[in-house]
Amino acid sequence: MKLPVQASNPDVGFQIAPMIDVVFVILVFFMSLAAQIRIEQILQTKLPGMSVAGTPTEFVDEQMLQVSEDGEVSLNDEIYDSPTSRDLPQLTSTLGQLKASSDAAKSKLVVTLISNPDSPYYRTIDVLNSLAVAGVTNVTFTADEEGP
């Protein structure tokens, strides 16, 4: 006796093998990802907060004095007195005001003196005398590199 051949049944039922494969792939993915994730306590991060300075910060008030080739004196690009004036009254007065202002603000006044190499030496001495009369003691010297 022969059993009748059933027509091809498109419904083969629930396939568990592909489901197990997918679950294993997802499991491997999450296991490999979990090894790279660090616990927040291990990172030892600190949130920003208020910082306390150990020593007070000292601010410096820097002014630029320039002596040009023809003896013209300028403070922060503003020309003071005439090139023939030896006592420089306007410059001395302004430097005195700057010194008083920096003393009131408890900051250090620093003056940088830039002399052109072709300027007369007595003009630089005149500026130094003006600084001494105004009471400015922190002076830095530089040479202008724009000479011939």
pLDDT tier at 32 (50, 70, 90 boundaries)?
confident
Assess whether pLDDT exceeds 60 at residue 4.
no
> CB neighbours of 77 closer than 8 A, spacing ≥ 6?
64, 66
* DSSP-assigned beta bridge partners for residue 75: 65, 78
Domain range summary for the chain, segments of one domain joined by +: 60-143
In the prediction, which pLDDT does 103 show? Answer: 86
Q: Is 49 exposed, middle or buried (0-12, 13-18, 19+ CB in 10 A)?
A: exposed
Distance CA 85, CA 113 (A): 18
The tens digit of pLDDT for each residue in 108-148 reads 888 999 888 888 888 888 889 999 998 888 888 886 665 44
Nearest to 123 by CA among 102, 146, 144: 144
In the prediction, which pLDDT does 27 show? Answer: 93
**Domain range 60-143, its CATH number among 3.30.70.520, 1.10.760.10, 3.30.420.270, 3.40.50.620:** 3.30.420.270
